[in-house]
Chain A
């Protein structure tokens, strides 16, 4: 076992994973430096989400190693991994995944409440983050009454409220329109830079990836130099080239 470099927050080596036999990752190595924004790019099905799940300890890879601050994550017991996710990591998914029974501020304060923080402290922190994300007026509403963009902002507030070391964002803007998308990403990157939070951002969008410090392109579960495929000549695209009889 090789000890990871010291300046990396997360260091993963030759991750292999398959979902019930369907290939997911085929030997991906990634290092994430402290306080950087790293974009993982690639088309749908290229293994971005699987990679983020492996890095954040939600999924144990079948082969390979994941280290967080020089601590091996892949050998941790499930309870310890759970605690790591709760206390050091934040997660923003494509779906907001809010708890429908709780109000907006309670949703945002949930990570702190789960850590056992006092009600007052959790409410204060959550309200501050909701103000920074311009949704403080909605603090007492429940998720069903919010727009999709507002729900997604609540999920960003929830992820940032816990003051995570690493924030994983898996296609955070997939269900949003362009105006809301750029605003959300600006807020997210500004907050990460000012608080020194490391961000691992999975996206298929080149515009979004341009906000990152570094880019890791994935294709079919492998790390590649560039995602751009050689162009297909136009004349072979027609029906004549299709020899399948169906």
Chain B
């Protein structure tokens, strides 16, 4: 009940973030139900397992986004007042898990209704049974399987956000009344591993595509001829980008504050160095996704293999969730630094300096990551396109 009361008093923007989580959850639930429908209509097909497995990419992106939204939720942030009445970080993490579960369950319900409607099981609205054939309408839907698939997103995201929020510092520990100065995170060390993974992934892909020249691997939807090694190569390269993200962000910050910086460059660089983990990980993932999208559209841009509607839905969910996670993480970093920014403004720092610092950070990250994404996408598409 407390979760609902807190939800009622929240800012509209926070509610919009929660609605986005619900929408992503609805998209994933719909994809999972579609794969179930396909499987029940084609019991002998090996492709149905692969369809289901492909759904885990948007599922992972949605869980990541739900955790990021739970982290930035102001109503479940540890507060000294609540902590002193016994509502510390642990209880608040339970609250955050409950509100995450509520919004994702809402999304799953919408997905179920929409799915049944398109199959023709629910009538009374336009497009009744518009995709009945496609969704395997002739066969009954196993109830337990549908419920299990629909509960995947709520259970996973609630658990993940509870685990992620448990370890937040307790404000009541700070009895001093003065500001808390946490120890800065050490410099991220994943850069060499990330570079190695990207190189390995590209090498595996090039090696695997040597034999299958001419038969580019099909998009998710027609998996029967997917060379596993190529997929593994892509996955390794994407994981490498995600691992290398924090290290690259740190280097970016280091470069920004080097050589006699003024106030804006100093603040921009140091903050980027401190926030390297928080910003770098989602940024690396966004880069990996964009690289995959660029490579895939370079390979399948022609008319002979058009994007299927479900593939498009999955791609939209993955892209939207990763970009939204990046933006939410940036917001979290901003919230974490609000106290410092306020004291700088009180000191008389012009707001333009703070804005310039933010713009410098964004420009530096864009200047490093945009060409990197493009190069990796080109390299990933190169062996398959010959």
Contact = CB atoms under 8 A, between A and B. Distances in A.
Interface of A: 58, 79, 82-87, 89, 91, 94-102, 106, 110-111, 113-114, 116, 118-120, 142-144, 148, 175
Contacts of B184: 100-101, 142, 144
Q: A-B pairs with the 7 shortest C-beta distances?
A: A86-B348, A85-B348, A101-B270, A97-B343, A119-B260, A113-B263, A144-B181
Interface of B: 176-179, 181-184, 260-263, 266-267, 270-271, 273-274, 340, 343-344, 346-350, 353
Nearest to A119: B260
Given A83-B350, A86-B349, A114-B350, 20 more contacts: A58-B346, A79-B350, A82-B350, A83-B348, A85-B347, A86-B350, A87-B348, A97-B343, A97-B347, A99-B340, A100-B181, A100-B182, A101-B184, A110-B263, A110-B347, A113-B266, A114-B347, A116-B262, A119-B260, A144-B182
Given A114-B263, A144-B183, A101 B347 contact: no
Contacts of B181: 98, 100, 143-144
Nearest to B176: A175
Which of the listed residues A82, A91, A114, A116 has the most CB atoms from chain B within 10 Å of its own CB? A114
B267 A101 contact: yes
A168 B271 CA distance: 28
A95 B178 CA distance: 6
A73 B347 CA distance: 16
A175 B178 contact: yes
B303 to A, nearest CB: 52
A82 B344 CA distance: 11
Contact of B340 (A86, A100, A116, A118): A100
B341 to A, nearest CB: 9
B267 A89 contact: no
Contacts of A83: 348, 350
Nearest to B345: A82
Nearest to A151: B181
Given A101-B184, A143-B181, A144-B182, A111 B262 contact: no
Nearest to B183: A144
A189 B266 CA distance: 32
A99 B350 contact: no
Contacts of B347: 85-86, 91, 97, 110-111, 114
Which of the listed residues A97, A110, A111, A142 has the most CB atoms from chain B within 10 Å of its own CB? A97
Contacts of A97: 179, 343, 346-347
B349 A114 contact: yes
Contacts of A102: 266-267, 270
Contacts of A91: 346-347
A114 B178 contact: no
7 contacts: A79-B350, A91-B346, A97-B343, A99-B340, A114-B350, A118-B260, A144-B182
A10 to B, nearest CB: 16
A94 B353 CA distance: 25
Nearest to B349: A114
B350 A101 contact: no
A97 B274 CA distance: 18
Contact of A106 (B260, B266, B348): B266
Given A85-B348, A89-B348, A148 B178 contact: yes
B179 to A, nearest CB: 5
Nearest to A83: B348
B250 to A, nearest CB: 13
Contacts of B177: 175
Nearest to B253: A101
A111 B353 CA distance: 12
A144 B179 CA distance: 11
Contacts of B178: 94-96, 148, 175
B108 to A, nearest CB: 41
Nearest to B343: A97
A114 B348 contact: yes
A93 to B, nearest CB: 8
A79 B179 CA distance: 27
Contacts of B271: 101
Contacts of B353: 114
A91 B383 CA distance: 63
Nearest to A146: B181
A206 to B, nearest CB: 22
A175 B177 CA distance: 9
A103 B181 CA distance: 13
A111 to B, nearest CB: 7
Nearest to A117: B262
Contacts of A119: 260-262
A79 B267 CA distance: 21
Which of the listed residues B176, B178, B263 has the most CB atoms from chain A within 10 Å of its own CB? B263
